[in-house]
Amino acid sequence: MFMTVYQWKIYLFAGLAERLGTRALEAEYAEERLSAAELKRRLAAAYPAQADLIEVSFVARNQAFASDETELYREDELALLPPVSGGSGAGEDAAEEGPIARYAVTELPLAAQDVLSLVHHPDHGAALLFAGTTRELTAGQRTVTLEYEAYEPMALSALRRIGEEIDARWPGTLCAIHHRIGPVGVGETSVLIAVSSPHRAAGYDASRYAIERLKQTVPIWKREVYEDGSEWKGHQTGPWDPLAPPAGELP
């Protein structure tokens, strides 16, 4: 008896792509739709050596994180995202905000003053800039360089969403986030977060909130390259839940 089978395509990133040796998996299933949990179960069964990492990864459907219960369709843009490590283009942001976008994922070096200028406001008495840089020694191991990778369109949307959350929690506070991808050498900057607000307390709180949400929700991964090897870093051995609500309540 002839059975119809459907082609499914799942994009992979960072350590998961490296372990499986491909940027996209193509599978044939009898169903045209599956839950996210079922898709992960089938992939884990098909690749048992990588089942541990598949288990802690999240499915993205059409560039949004999907819960286990989310129904997926084979025509969807599907990706399996390993836990993020951190944390292009100006596109529509540039059209609204000038030549430099407030939220960007880029291979170019980051300019602190340019990012800080994006949150300038004449009524704000506090402006802060957080810069994340590549350190040379981590737990006694010497880093040669870092290599960042992103699911770029989804990462850019996630950065904008952080800005929206900050505006909801601290009304009037402005935020800009730029993140590098590609190689970032020792001493170079990988991420800049600028915030400004009428008062410094909100600025400090918003800056800390931005980096913590970036680590939780933005699909950007980091590989540390050492003198004797390399390793993808992130929450790949512990719980990671990008769908968890932000900590705390709205003020």
The confidence score (pLDDT) of residue 71 equals 98
Cβ-contact 186, 145 below 8 angstroms: yes
Nearest to 175 by CA among 222, 113, 128, 107: 128
Find the range with the poorest average confidence among 62-71, 95-104, 116-125: 95-104
Angle of helix 200-217 versus helix 152-169 axis, rounded to 10: 150
pTM across the whole model: 0.86
Rounded percentage of the chain residues whose pLDDT exceeds 90 = 79
* Rounded average pLDDT over 152-164: 97
Could you give the CA distance from residue 38 to residue 60 in angstroms, rounded to a whole number?
14
Q: What pLDDT does 203 receive?
A: 96
Q: Which domains does the chain have, with CATH numbers?
A: 6-81 (3.10.20.30), 91-233 (3.90.1170.40)
In degrees and rounded to multiples of 5, residue 24 shows phi and psi of -155, 135
- In whole angstroms, what is the distance from residue 49 CA to residue 30 CA? 24
Query: Average pLDDT in the 210-224 region?
Result: 94
Residue 87 has pLDDT above 60, yes or no: no
> Which value, to the nearest 10 degrees, does the dihedral of the CA atoms of residues 92, 96, 102, 104 take?
20
For residue 115, CA distances in Å to 128, 130, 171, 228 come to: 11, 10, 20, 35
To the nearest whole number, what is the mean pLDDT of the chain?
A: 89
The whole-number pLDDT of residue 248 equals 62
Which range is least confidently modeled, 11-20, 142-151, 219-228, 235-244? Answer: 235-244
Give the Cα separation of 80 and 42 in Å (integer): 13
Number of helical H runs and strand E runs in the chain:
7, 15
**Are 200 and 173 a contacting pair, CB within 8 Å?**
no
Strand-strand pairing, 220-226 and 229-233: antiparallel
Overall average pLDDT of the 3-20 stretch = 94
* Res 193: pLDDT: 98
Q: How far apart are CA 204 and CA 125, in angstroms?
A: 12
